Amino acid sequence: MNYRHSFHAGNFADVHKHVALLALLHAMQRKDRGLLYLDTHAGAGAYDLASAATHKGAEARAGILRLAAHTPLRALELRDYLRVVQDWQQRRGERHSYPGSPVIAARTLRPQDRALCCELSPRECRALERALAGARRVRVECGDGYQRLRSSLPAPERRSLLLIDPPYETPATEWDQARRALELALTRQANAVAALWYPIKDEHGSRAAQRLEREFGVPATRLELWLYPRDARIGLNGSGLLIVQPPHHFQERATEWQRELWSILDTSGRGGNGVHGTAASSPSGAAASTGAAGAAAGTRHHAGA
């Protein structure tokens, strides 16, 4: 496994994913009952955007650094996210530190919640243990997140939020693993909420996510935000999230905050954003979608500025 998340820390895809993660946690926390947050691919937990390991935050310039320089932010979800990032930096006394998904979740847990964060790479896992040192109700497991998922569900809390964030070094295998993980999660815990991140490098990722969305027959939302034409040969053109069984109103709210996030991050006007799904609270089901019809399989997109 060669993947190192540090190269990408704080980039536009991290921001997209982490805003969504925090919004999901907050939405689920509207109910008092505790929840299990399960991060199958946790990464190192925190990243130094001034270090050589992150190329001095090169990718973050078009992500967290661009967002943080933008005021005012309208959407509550964007403000909440920025507050968590800045609180973390203040607490560490390191204004270049960027928190990954396990740290963002750990800092959001209530006394009745707990988290299980899994990381396969021993080196990343040691860093994760350091980043989460002292965090309460959080367990770090150095090992395969999919195996841990199998042994952790159903959660005694009877509510769980899964983040599945694979590196897609071998995309076909990883899509298959993610599909099986979602199937298992829904079998073991029928009300599980799950977010699967996927890259948009061409339409393949989006189509694979649509197939999964249909396969399980449960409400789902796909959020997609891209900064380059979806088929450009740049590398990562966009960020996608398939969210299975999102909480009420999540899709409608995501339409708002994602549109604002895209308008801030897409400075070249070559990208777009789209929300597609069957999880809207309105009777039409897809009322959260906005913009002109897009090329990708029924998703309705804003393209360009």
Q: Which two tokens stand for residue 249?
A: 């109103």
Rounded to 5 degrees, what are φ and ψ at 151?
Answer: -85, -5
Nearer to ligand SAM (CB atom), residue 10 or residue 277: 10
Active site annotation includes 165? yes
Which residues contribute to the site for ligand SAM (CB under 6 A)? 1, 3, 5, 14, 17, 40-43, 100-101, 118-121, 124, 144-146, 165, 167
Query: How far is 135 from 186, CA to CA, in rounded Å?
Result: 28
- H/E stretch holding 70 reads none
Nearer to ligand SAM (CB atom), residue 113 or residue 124: 124
> Helix 76-92 crosses helix 250-265 at what angle (to 10 degrees)?
70
- Least Cα distance to 74 among 258, 292, 295, 281 occurs for 258
Strand pairing partners for 115? 37, 138
Of all residues in the shown chain, the one whose CB is closest to ligand SAM is 100
Nearer to ligand SAM (CB atom), residue 43 or residue 219: 43
Query: How far is 13 from 168, CA to CA, in rounded Å?
Result: 14
Taking the alpha carbons at both ends of the chain, their separation in whole angstroms is 38
Nearer to ligand SAM (CB atom), residue 106 or residue 303: 106
- Radius of gyration of the chain, Cα coordinates, nearest whole angstrom: 18
- Catalytically annotated residue among 14, 48, 80, 165: 165
| Catalytic positions | 165
